[in-house]
Chains A and B, each alone.
Chain A
Amino acid sequence: MSEVHVDSTGHAEPNFSTKAIWKTFWILLFITLAELLLAIVYYEKHFIPKHMLNGLFVIGTLAKAFFIIAEFMHLGHENKNLIFSLAFPAMLFIWFLIAFLWDGDSYNNLRNKYDSHYVEKSKTPVGKNPGVE
């Protein structure tokens, strides 16, 4: 499915191959299964710290996002101007994310420091553990 065909505007362009699509599908499936395996193994046996596990999940998610955008949405094959017009605000978004999470963390630290009632309420177990009577 890679022979040249003439599209409606009269320009010859390469046929969009389905091979790349299925390859992307297998990559997405593999990453998702890897994440699930990590989650299940962690549930049984905490073999790495939680924040390291979270870091791996985030990396997996970003990899999946990259493949969906580049191949399924075809942006990887588009004009460089278009790619950058969309990528640049996304980079500003990274700052947005860090700033707000940092702010939430600061709020938590201040609250723990000054609000003893909150500390008590949020750290006293109700039952044994979730789901256990």
Chain B
Amino acid sequence: MIGQLKYAVKYALGLDRAGNNYTVHPDDTFLVSYPKSGNTWVRFLLANLIYPNESVGFANINRLLPAPGVLSKRFLSKLPRPRILKSHEPFDVRFRKVIYLVRDPRDVAISEYHFDLKKRYIAADMTLEQFLKPFIAGETSSYGSWWEHAASWIGPRYGNPAFLLVRYEDLLADPVGETAKIAEFLGIQADEGRLKTAVERSSADRMRKLEKQDADKWTGTKNTIQDIPFVRTAKSGGWKDSLPRDAVEQIEVAWFPLMNFLGYDLASKELDSKAVPPWLRSGQPT
């Protein structure tokens, strides 16, 4: 009862967590990705790009590049527009303008496994092999499986001018060039110098240091196992060393058409490396 009352008061004051029940404006831009696909890194990149005079860190990232789910409706309604918001949601028709960040699911699997251990979402003795089946079935995340997530966004929106598809791997290979593309999509004027500064300020090394400093001040790292870092390797292709061959095959068998489309080379030779989802062949967005 006390809990309900507390919630009622918070709700009346607009101080309850917005969750999924916040107002989306037509001029909002969403930075969307499946979890563990580089979303936090891009939030840092954009925050550093947009607010060069702020010292961007884990303590203020929720304010600078807000995650609506964990913020209050009052805070969200007071943000200057147009807003840039972070999201892990699968397709949401209200999101008109979307930067969709995608990452090789073989690396996502490893990253999510470590993150779920850190968050105590899974048992401490669960092996990566055991994690894989529920991961592929979409049972390890409330946002669905990697396929469901990517297909729900890329399917209806690919080719739409208000949809920018960014690969985490491209961002790693050429952070300045890819950040420039995102800046252009957002209509942010940024010269090479400003882009470079933003990239340097968001480097994995720097983010690791900031994480140590502020781990207790951010929703992503508060009350988690601190021996397991949030900013881990920040690399691509880690699956080649740390994902068992059998696990690689399971992921590829499940999702190869979309992986082909996204340019993630298959290790399993018996799968058709030319097959892509037919809805991506048919051209126009729905």
Partners in one complex: no
Interface residues of B (CB under 8 A from A): none
